[in-house]
Amino acid sequence: QAAKFIQRIDGDVTFTYGKLTTDTNHFKEAKGLDMVMKKVKHKCIERMSSGTADKLGLTRAVLCNDDLAKKLEEFERNAKFYKEMIVRSHFLLLDFNAVCGVYKGMGDLFSQIAVREKCAANEAFTIFADAHRNYHKAGTEFQKKAAPIMNKLGTYLHKAVPDMRLTIKKYANAKFEYLAYCLKIKEMDDEEYTFNSLDDPLPRVEEGNYEYRVVLRCRAQARAYFLQLRSDVRVKLQLLNSKHVQDLTEQLEKWTKVLLAYYEEAAAISDKANVFPIDIDLSTVVDAQ
């Protein structure tokens, strides 16, 4: 109607306006429950498929072509991989320590047998006992070298990952707030369209549509904050992925070298301990029984 009125005027048209001063903080406090419910709804829908949300009749605002979501999924997969790897490595070292204890016990046992045997058998069992004690010594040395590697990988899991998750939590909160304002504006637009189709004046439009303009201002502020956190998350993820690739390659290479050194030392010990067959005087065993 205003456009048609202006078009009918032949002369110049002068517009005057009053600057709208909006108190967005007051609006956020007044509309707190409504926006909180919308944020909670978006948080719930985030974990649903689109089909499920549609069947439940849940209206929502979505981000199109959100490539950051895939990067966040990749980050969670990496964190899960680190956690499983460290847990498995921890149990591997525990089992390795138990095996080393068995080696030590067998070495002591073969030493006791060597004391009871004659010259040839005594020497063979002594060599065999020393071999098992050397297995224990090599295994202990391997554990000392492997523990710092696990601690280094644990730094990524226990420090870098929680810090990144805290940043993601802030980003998600800003994202849901921005989407909540987008949904609020969509609802207000639909309400206005419905009243216009019925030729029924909407009270808030008749009064200057102040609430709508405040929501627009709040959405603009929420969008700016959301984009800032989105940029921070993207940069942090890129740095974390670079660190993940570099550290994982370096630590696994160290792990492989340490494990290979242990197996080579164990193979050398086994070669020196090739004392079979061992001649034992069984008559002395029977007499001892």
pLDDT tens digits along 103-143:
899 888 888 877 777 767 778 888 888 888 999 999 999 98
Q: Which residue has the higher pLDDT, 107 or 1?
A: 107
Which residue stretches of the chain are H helix? 2-7, 24-30, 32-46, 50-55, 67-116, 119-155, 161-197, 203-206, 210-272, 282-288
pLDDT of residue 286: 47
Instruction: Round the CA-based radius of gyration of the chain to a whole number and report it.
Output: 37
pLDDT of residue 264: 92
pLDDT of residue 206: 75
CB 121 within 8 Å of CB 279 = yes
pLDDT of residue 54: 57
Packing angle of the helix pair 67-116, 119-155 (nearest 10 deg): 160
Taking all residues of the chain, what is their mean pLDDT, rounded to a whole number? 80
CA distances from 121 to 47, 132, 135, 238 (A): 71, 17, 21, 65
Number of other CB atoms surrounding residue 214 within 10 Å: 19
pLDDT tens digits along 226-280:
889 989 988 988 888 888 888 888 888 998 999 899 999 989 988 887 766 666 6
Q: Which residue has the higher pLDDT, 92 or 31?
A: 92
Residue among 157, 161, 168 nearest 69 (CA):
168
What mean pLDDT comes out for the span 41-64? 64
Q: Two tokens at 212?
A: 């709508």
CA distances from 186 to 60, 61, 143, 181 (A): 10, 9, 62, 9
Sign, CA dihedral 208-210-216-221, equals positive
With 0-12 CB in 10 A as exposed, 13-18 as middle and 19+ as buried, what is 180?
Answer: buried
Sign, CA dihedral 148-153-156-162, equals negative
In order, the DSSP letters of 55-98 are HTT------TT-HHHHHHHHHHHHHHHHHHHHHHHHHHHHHHHH
pLDDT of residue 61: 62
Q: How confident is the model at residue 74 (pLDDT cuts 50, 70, 90)?
A: confident
Q: Which residue has the higher pLDDT, 33 or 240?
A: 240
Residue among 127, 133, 126 nearest 100 (CA):
133
Q: Which residue has the higher pLDDT, 199 or 224?
A: 224
CA 144 to chain centre: 28
**Is the bond preceding residue 203 a cis peptide, omega within 30 degrees?**
no
Rounded Cα–Cα distance for residues 189 and 183 (Å) = 10
CA distances from 4 to 9, 37, 196, 249 (A): 9, 41, 17, 71
